[in-house]
Amino acid sequence: MSRLQSRAQREAAFLKLATDLYTQLEEWYDQHPAASFGELEQEARRLRREFMGQGLAVVINGRDTGFQLEEPVCPQCGQALQFVGYRSWRVSGLEGETELERAYYVCRECEGQTLFPPGSETAVTPGSLE
């Protein structure tokens, strides 16, 4: 799973996925030389779903996962929150399966105070892309 990346890094990661898709399609055709157009197209669609799902993860997660260099403060007690890790969830989109993730913080003082800091991708909440 990708973390924060520059635009150039995201582009490289995305193009790598596209190159992998092309390679897999060539290999599949090598192994099925008698395949009909429809069969080749079916394999291409399957690979495209994988590619698009992973490609969207690069674009979204690579921009902003909500991780902050300076710890955000607890809205209840004002103490600095502790970064716990990343929580991920799966979105079944029109083009494929995408694994999204957000940074996750907890308060050491307050029971159950947690935070998923909103970022530029505030609109990307579980279910919003479904």
- Residues that bind Zn ion in the complex, under the rule CB under 5 A: 74, 76-77, 107, 109-110, 113
Query: How far is C-alpha 42 from the geometric centre of its chain's CA atoms?
Result: 25
Q: How far is the CB of 84 from Zn ion (least distance, A)?
A: 14
Q: Which is nearer to Zn ion, 51 or 104 (CB)?
A: 104
HEC readout, the chain: CCCCCCHHHHHHHHHHHHHHHHHHHHHHHHHCCCCCHHHHHHHHHHHHHHHHHHHHHHHHHCCCCCCCCCCCECCCCCCECEEEEEEEEEEECCCCEEEEEEEEEECCCCCCCEECCCCCCCCCCCCCCC
Q: Which is nearer to Zn ion, 78 or 127 (CB)?
A: 78
Closest residue to Zn ion, Cβ-based?
74
Q: How far is the CB of 120 from Zn ion (least distance, A)?
A: 26
Q: Which is nearer to Zn ion, 77 or 84 (CB)?
A: 77
Q: Which is nearer to Zn ion, 24 or 113 (CB)?
A: 113
Q: How far is the CB of 97 from Zn ion (least distance, A)?
A: 36
Q: How far is the CB of 25 from Zn ion (least distance, A)?
A: 52
